Structure 1
Amino acid sequence: MAKILKLPIQLMEVDACNVASAINGSVSSAGSAGCIIEDIKALCKDVGVLKCQAIPRSGNGMAHTLAARAFSYREENLWQQLLPSCFSSFCCS
């Protein structure tokens, strides 16, 4: 989405240290996830990501909730203005 909307992103956060290391690494990733990591690296380059860092899952509650909720949808959803009510606990008043 950042690529489509031409939004520059310099920092990406994930909740897995091994994923952050693989994305930041200059060596091609091996194994079954290698091609996925290479695709992520290419997308990161396209939007200007300079660094990927790991943060604890507890510090990324909104992303975790969004990912879990995505499994319940059968079609694409895009929220550009108003967030769904399930995110109200993450927002400041």
Structure 2
Amino acid sequence: MATKDELKERFVTGHVITEQDMNDLLDVIERGPEGPQGEQGPQGQRGPKGDKGDKGDTGEQGPQGTAGSDGADGQDAEPQFTEEQVTALLALIEDGE
């Protein structure tokens, strides 16, 4: 490994810097105190939308809900058939046996 003075002499004379020279330079450098945090840079562009994920596992059955209130009484429906029609339909059914 080169000393600090040897490296100074190489760089001042116009020596072509090699990878080994850079490694030696990094070895002899004395680090100063760390500087303050820099300002945050601008927000980058939003990336492309990712692929759709796999379907998740089915969750557990939830608890039984509370019973609802009773519904209102319905209105009576209009009869679908008249009394005469019911009698005629019953006669047809009995004759078909």
TM-score by length of 1: 0.19
User: Which structure shows the bigger proportion of residues in strand conformation?
Assistant: 1
| Higher RCO (CA-CA < 8 Å; seq separation 6+) | 1
